[in-house]
């Protein structure tokens, strides 16, 4: 699982999703790993794969580096896109393999994005019912039939495999937020912050957010539009 830094959105449009899948195909050709499932969510990515030629750390670095290089050019940004190192866990038997596969395909349903796994365009589910040069379906269909696969993925069980839920954040009150803003920026009021250069505003806003000040609080207490705050936090 890969997650956006600061939980930021990774995929802004379909082109971003298509590019990530193309990167997967290109890296698969180089690293010779097998892919059994994927799901591209707004701010995180699930991939079920088997390493063959290269260790997991190397192939994941290859995937992330290629995508981030393209992404940063497209959005005219610099720096990291993904949060820390990828998260992973081993799969040691067929039963758990199928559980994880279903968990990945059901992520959009669990998130309330769609009502059925088939309705989500950016997962591997529908690739099991057509010719695919990305998904290695043979192993799955050696375990269960295509009809059983469809029924299994549609069962409403919603397991929690590799837990991607964030720990609840401690809410920062407005008074606490004001102190954080003043301590970091040395600005005693909104007017003082508004006259700062944009480069300084962006630098400080990133620090405020890291300390737990919400986007809405930053916008309200610093006199900066919510859209601009979100742009600087990307």
Read off the pLDDT of residues 79-137 as tens digits, 9 standing for 90 and up: 888 877 788 888 888 988 999 999 999 999 988 899 999 999 999 999 999 888 899 99
Instruction: Provide the pLDDT for residue 160.
Output: 67
Summarize the chain as % helix, strand, coil (round to 5). Answer: 55, 10, 40
List the structure tokens of 53.
């030629």
d(CA 194, CA 202): 12
For residue range 154-181, list pLDDT tens digits in order. 988 766 666 544 444 567 888 899 999 9
The percentage of the chain sitting over the pLDDT mark of 90, rounded to a whole number, equals 59
Question: Do the Cβ atoms of 48 and 56 come closer than 8 Å?
Answer: no
Residue 62: which residues within 8 A CB-CB, separation 6 or more?
A: 27, 30, 31, 54
List the structure tokens of 192.
């003082």
Burial label, 124 (beta-carbon count in 10 A; 0-12, 13-18, 19+): buried
Question: Do the Cβ atoms of 112 and 42 come closer than 8 Å?
Answer: no
Instruction: Provide the pLDDT for residue 146.
Output: 94
The 3-state DSSP class for residue 136 equals: coil
Question: Do the Cβ atoms of 105 and 153 come closer than 8 Å?
Answer: yes
Mean pLDDT over 47-69 rounds to 93
Instruction: Provide the pLDDT for residue 141.
Output: 95
Q: Identify which of 166, 160, 174, 163 has the alpha carbon closest to the alpha carbon of residue 6.
A: 166
List the structure tokens of 151.
């029924």
44-50 and 2-3 strand pairing: antiparallel
Does the pLDDT value for residue 70 go beyond 70?
A: yes
Instruction: Provide the pLDDT for residue 208.
Output: 93
Comparing 51-55, 76-80, 145-149, 169-173, the range with the smallest average pLDDT is: 169-173
Instruction: Provide the pLDDT for residue 128.
Output: 96
Residue 118 parent element (H or E):
none
List the structure tokens of 122.
């950016």
Residue 42: which residues within 8 A CB-CB, separation 6 or more?
A: 9, 10, 11
Burial label, 95 (beta-carbon count in 10 A; 0-12, 13-18, 19+): exposed
Reported as a pLDDT band with limits 50, 70 and 90, residue 223 is confident
Instruction: Provide the pLDDT for residue 161.
Output: 67
């Amino acid at each position: 699982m890969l997650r956006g830094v600061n939980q930021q959105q990774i995929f802004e449009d379909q082109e971003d999703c298509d590019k990530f899948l193309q990167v997967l195909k290109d890296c698969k050709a180089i690293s010779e790993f097998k892919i059994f499932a994927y799901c591209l969510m707004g701010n995180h990515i699930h991939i079920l794969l088997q390493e063959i030629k290269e260790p997991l750390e190397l192939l994941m670095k290859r995937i992330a580096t290629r995508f981030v290089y393209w992404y940063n050019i497209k959005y005219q940004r610099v720096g990291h896109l993904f949060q820390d190192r990828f998260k992973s866990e081993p799969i040691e038997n067929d039963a758990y393999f199928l559980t994880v596969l279903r968990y990945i395909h059901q992520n959009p349903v669990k998130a309330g994005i769609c009502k059925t796994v088939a309705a989500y365009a950016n997962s591997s589910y529908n690739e099991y019912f057509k010719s695919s040069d990305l998904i290695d379906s043979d192993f799955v269909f050696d375990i269960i039939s295509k009809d059983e696969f469809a029924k299994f993925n549609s069962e409403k069980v919603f397991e929690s495999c590799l837990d991607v839920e964030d720990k609840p954040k401690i809410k920062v009150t407005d008074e606490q937020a004001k102190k954080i803003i003043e301590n970091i920026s040395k600005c005693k009021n909104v007017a003082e912050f508004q006259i700062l250069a944009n480069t300084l505003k962006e630098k400080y806003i990133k620090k405020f957010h890291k300390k737990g000040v919400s986007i809405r609080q930053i916008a309200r207490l610093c006199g900066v539009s919510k859209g601009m705050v979100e742009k600087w936090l990307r």
